[in-house]
Amino acid sequence: MLDTRTAPYGIFVLRVALGAMWISHALLKYIVFTMPGFAGFLGSQGLPEALAWPVVLAEIIGGILILLGVYARHVALLLIPVMAGAMSVHIPNGWLFSTAGGGWEYPAFLIAASFALWLLGDGAFALRSRPLLFVGRPVTA
């Protein structure tokens, strides 16, 4: 049973953690792998190198919007295809992300958490949470 008194705050914790993860996932590409390195990786996987900047910008901007609660549930849903693409690249490496080349457990978790946020709504302290798409009534404080 859902505790409607505390649920918005639990969703807030999920939203902040998820936003931080999307941002850190983008910064890893930008700072550690570098943009030329990430573009080269995409090319080595048979993907267009030109996707490097759109992917990183989507993750950074999307992560910030989720973190702040600006249409967070919808942004989370829109980011799922980005992470599904990342997951598809890592599936051949196995489950654990710590394996050589990185597995697909981390991308799968981000997809699941993003989908959960879409289902739950923006939660407490969201800056902008008016529904854009019908999903039901969001749980808010």
In-domain check, residue 137: no
Q: Is 1 within the bounds of a domain?
A: no
Q: What is the pTM of this model?
A: 0.88
- Which domain, by its residues, includes 40? 7-120
With respect to residue 128, please indicate whether it lies within any of the assigned structural domains: no
70-93 pLDDT per residue, tens: 999 999 999 999 999 999 999 999
d(CA 65, CA 71): 7
Tell me what pLDDT residue 139 has.
54
**Residue 125 is assigned to a structural domain of this protein:** no
Question: What confidence score (pLDDT) does residue 2 get?
Answer: 85
Is the confidence at residue 141, as pLDDT, over 70?
no
Contact indicator for 135, 73 with CB cutoff of 8 Å: yes
Number of domains in the chain: 1
Residue 109 covered by a domain: yes
* Residue 130 within a domain: no
Q: Per the domain annotation, does 43 fall within a domain?
A: yes
74 inside domain: yes
SS3 content of the chain, % helix, strand, coil (to 5): 65, 0, 30
Burial class of residue 54, CB neighbours in 10 A (0-12, 13-18, 19+)? exposed
